[in-house]
Amino acid sequence: MRQAGKNKLPCLPVALGELDIFLFGQGKHWDLYRVLGAHPHDGPEGSGYRFAVWAPNARSVSVVTDQNDWTPGRQSLHPVAASGIWAGFIPGFEKGWLYKFAVEQKHGGIVEKADPFALCTEMRPGIAARAWDLDSYAWNDAAWMAERREKGLPLNEAVSFYEVHPGSWRWKSAEYGSFYSYRDLAETLVPYVRDLGFTHIEFMPLAEHPLDESWGYQTGHYFAPTSRFGTPEELRYLIDVCHQNGIGVILDWVPAHFPKDTWGLGRFDGTGLFEHEDPRQGEHPDWGTYVFNYDRHEVKNFLLANALYWFKEFHIDGLRIDAVASMIYLDYSREEGQWIPNQYGGKENIAAIELMRELNTVVHDHFPGACMIAEESTSWAGVSRPVYTGGLGFTFKWNMGWMNDTLDYFSKDPIYRGFHQNQLTFSMLYAFHENFILPLSHDEVTHGKGALISKMPGDQWQQMANLRLFLAYMWAHPGKKLLFMGCEFGQWKEWNSREPLDWVLMDFPSHRGVSELVRALNRVHKDHPSMHAKDNDWTGFEWVDLSDYAASVITFLRKSPTGAPVLWAFNFTPIVRESYAVGCRIPGYWREIVNTDSALFGGTNAGNGGGVMAQSAAYGNWPHYLSLTLPPLAAVAFTPE
């Protein structure tokens, strides 16, 4: 490698394809990341790197690098006619060298900017890009990718997500920053998740971000996997290993806003380029960030190409879109006078809505079987309905209402729960309006909210029993499942991104019991079609009894056309209820397939001895009934044999 300051070769003009420029102007260049940014190139002068950046209002743009002493003007890019793009070729530039763009802005002054299309970056706190390439990894997941295409969307499959913040899942030592690498995670996280039976890992944002405490939600480099854990090829390896072990990978993605750092996208050429100039449209008051200008074709193309990049170049299986509500409402978190109505006088952000619809259409068209997931916290209709029916086109929507109501119910002392049973039953009024995911995410166990188990009332035994009951209720309820790391073994302390999980708790039987229960729930969820095949359809659910407020007991059936029904009974009090009658249609023996009070899970082993015979007498509108023992603060599930 050359010594810093030795590369004095000029930046030579380089041609960009007319079709590339046309598609970019239309906002429809799906491989834009192969045109803009820095890419290996062979010219008459030898091999090197070709650079291109969109800065239509800049006076000049040059490449500054550790090879030219970071001096603006030495290697100037050339304007590409009628495109707003500056481009050039530097012979002798090598992979791994650091670079930035020195942008002489519209109103004067030169600002060093990070490459918006950087494929790799230096380790924080540095923000320079590393010259990299896209084609240095050989994939070994052809079988997985083919099966995903053939199966299509997993709407009727057993799906459970394990949400992970890789910087705090495990550490190599007690020293902050001793993160597991992508390769370490391939060796440890993947078998752990596979053993617990989760079908997917959902990673919090892995795009490069300068501040650890932002957890990736203030993205600095949209096309560069964070260097905290290794190289882009090592992230590909991690995803490849996931696929070879039958585990899908979802990435959190943040198209709603971006940081105001002077080196970033904001005021890139001295104007509101990626963001609106007007702060009523271009700034987020809560987060102190810029909002993308979704009206601009080139900005829309930046986001669409970025989403497709993760699917095409990293083989991910889905994107979870953060803060969708903040995108589709112009008045989101704004007072009167702080926002501008759309052309019809409404509060809907029409450009953002159209971006979501086009994004979902293009992803589903290009990558059959891939999931698009919305974190949308309002009652917007049709989030997970097809675009051709007027929906936003997402595959799934997070069910925030279920999460809030259920956590609030479980936080109450059991003596009061009978007065709030509607918090459990209300969700069934809208459970099939969308394709829902039931989320217990990182947001519920941080910022003073406490750990999941700390929300449960009672002494330590009751808290553990309540946690097991909560998890069983979550898995039994219609909808796909998402559980944040640490909740699967009952971590006591609130999640802190600067500390690893309390793995020492796995030495205690009660915590191992919670983990065993999660494994059992995933197995039941997968093995019984009635537990997942009709997640999005009323025909997959039937109340048996939702009216026993006095006992704080509810019972329901999960059903499917291809499997035996599963009867669930939940006792939300610490009182053992013996000879509790539950109506059923099918005579004969009903086998107990789940009992959260089992000693295996840390319970008292109260229950039904493995199953019960249906009584032939009618019970209410049911031709038969089961006489059950309902353990304290526990769920039991049965299926007929």
Residues with active-site annotation: 322, 375
- Close Cβ partners of 577 (under 8 Å, ≥ 6 residues apart): 551, 553, 571, 628, 629, 630
H or E stretch at 629: strand 624-630
Cα 390 to Cα 404: distance, rounded to the nearest angstrom: 28
* 627: amino acid identity, one letter: S
Structure tokens that stand for 171 in this block: 């550490």
SS3 (DSSP) at 311: helix
The answer to whether the CB of 257 falls within 8 A of the CB of 292 is yes
Structure tokens that stand for 3 in this block: 């010594």
Cis ω for the linkage preceding 125 (within 30 of 0) = yes
* 560: amino acid identity, one letter: S
Structure tokens that stand for 417 in this block: 């729960």
Q: Where does 369-508 have alpha helices with state H? A: 400-410, 414-417, 422-425, 460-476
Cα 259 to Cα 111: distance, rounded to the nearest angstrom: 16
Structure tokens that stand for 410 in this block: 């479980």
Residues 310, 313, 365, 247: is their CA dihedral positive or negative?
negative
Q: Where does 118-230 have alpha helices with state H? A: 142-151, 182-196
Structure tokens that stand for 302 in this block: 């930046």
Long-range contacts of residues 348-352, Cβ cutoff 8 Å, at least 24 apart: 349/294, 351/294, 351/295, 351/300, 352/294, 352/327, 352/328
Cα 608 to Cα 614: distance, rounded to the nearest angstrom: 13
Angle at 522 between CA 504 and CA 533, to 5 degrees: 160
Cα 78 to Cα 75: distance, rounded to the nearest angstrom: 10
What letter does residue 540 receive in the DSSP assignment? G
* 376: amino acid identity, one letter: E
Cα 73 to Cα 61: distance, rounded to the nearest angstrom: 8
- Close Cβ partners of 122 (under 8 Å, ≥ 6 residues apart): 98, 128, 129, 130, 227
Structure tokens that stand for 458 in this block: 């009672």
* Of residues 585, 583, 543, 594, the one with CA closest to residue 564: 585
The answer to whether the CB of 372 falls within 8 A of the CB of 395 is yes
The answer to whether the CB of 408 falls within 8 A of the CB of 415 is no
